């Protein structure tokens, strides 16, 4: 049996083929898995569990069916869907995980993160993250009417695109938006674990590194913009592979 990891699907009504690819994945390969872990940014945007989108309804029905079939589904919030709450998780049959989380993966302690906490060189983003993860900010935001929240999401997306465009113009996009090596090493040192799995950066790879004289691995999940990306882990090892569109 295999445990599956995905992240950064950024599901959006404007990209229905990716939603269909994910649904096919849930109905086929995921049904034979030990568990499915979704490490954030399942949706392009999430403004509250009363989000009326058809995409959200479809995903909830499919992950609930997977869980009902006996495959546990775990979800960690990302920077796009940090407002996904208990109500939607129950509807979708998903167990919410804190970021970071430690799991036992085939007798091997493994650290899971969305990944944005590792991008400490992007100070502007870290300041924004601290603001929107504040429970008081979230309570105030969720008390607003749905149209106002949807408008905010559009504005936030435009601001994010402008921020990234500015980094590109400065020639710092590749370094600022990737993880900081010192933060990765500090995180692995702090947890005393030699395997880290995360998403967020859209740079799929398996990195070998040395931390405190320990051989460690950082596995980065890919995004689902042009194709799927799945990490398959079993007792024999880990394989990070693409999932092509039909």
Q: How far is CA 188 from CA 44, 118, 137, 177, in A?
A: 29, 11, 30, 20
Known binding residue 178? Answer is no
Q: Where are any strands of DSSP class E within 16-82? A: 35-38, 73-76
Kind and range of the H or E run holding 55: helix 54-68
Is residue 204 helix, strand or coil? Answer: coil
Known binding residue 50? Answer is no
Is residue 125 helix, strand or coil? Answer: helix
Strand-pairing partners, residue 240, are 231
Known binding residue 80? Answer is yes
Known binding residue 189? Answer is no
Go through 103-126 and write b for each residue having 16 or more CB atoms within 10 A of its CB, e for each that does not: eebeeeebbbbbbbbbbebbeebe
Kind and range of the H or E run holding 240: strand 237-243
Angle subtended by helix axes 146-170 and 135-142, to nearest 10: 130
The position carrying tokens 């113009």 is 169
Known binding residue 157? Answer is no
Known binding residue 194? Answer is no
Known binding residue 24? Answer is no
Known binding residue 163? Answer is no
Known binding residue 122? Answer is yes
Paired tokens of 153: 């999401």
Residue stretches of the annotated binding site for substrate: 79-80, 122, 160, 168, 200
Residue stretches of the annotated binding site: 8, 10, 41, 79-80, 114, 122, 160, 168, 200, 202
Residue stretches of the annotated binding site for Mn(2+): 8, 10, 41, 79, 114, 200, 202
């Amino acid at each position: 049996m295999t445990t599956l990891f995905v992240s950064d699907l950024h599901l959006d009504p404007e990209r229905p083929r990716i939603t269909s690819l994910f649904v096919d994945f849930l109905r086929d390969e995921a049904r034979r898995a030990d568990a499915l872990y979704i490490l954030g940014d399942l949706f392009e945007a999430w403004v509250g569990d009363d989000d009326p989108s058809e995409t959200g309804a479809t995903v909830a029905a499919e992950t609930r069916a997977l869980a009902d079939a006996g495959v546990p589904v775990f979800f960690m919030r990302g920077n796009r869907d940090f407002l996904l709450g208990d109500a939607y998780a129950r509807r979708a049959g998903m167990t919410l995980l804190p970021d970071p989380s430690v799991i036992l993966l085939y007798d091997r302690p493994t650290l899971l993160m969305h990944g944005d906490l590792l991008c400490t060189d992007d100070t502007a983003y870290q300041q924004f993250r601290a603001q929107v993860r504040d429970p008081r900010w979230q309570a105030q935001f969720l008390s607003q009417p749905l149209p106002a929240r949807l408008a905010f999401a559009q504005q936030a997306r435009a601001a994010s695109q402008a921020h990234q465009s500015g980094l590109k113009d400065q020639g710092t996009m590749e370094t600022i938006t990737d993880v900081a090596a010192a933060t990765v090493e500090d995180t692995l040192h702090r947890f005393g674990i030699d395997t880290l799995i995360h998403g967020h950066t859209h740079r799929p790879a398996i990195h070998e590194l040395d931390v405190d004289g320990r051989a460690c691995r950082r596995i980065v999940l890919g995004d689902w913009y042009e194709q799927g990306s799945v990490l398959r882990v079993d007792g024999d090892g880990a394989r990070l592979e693409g999932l092509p569109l039909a």
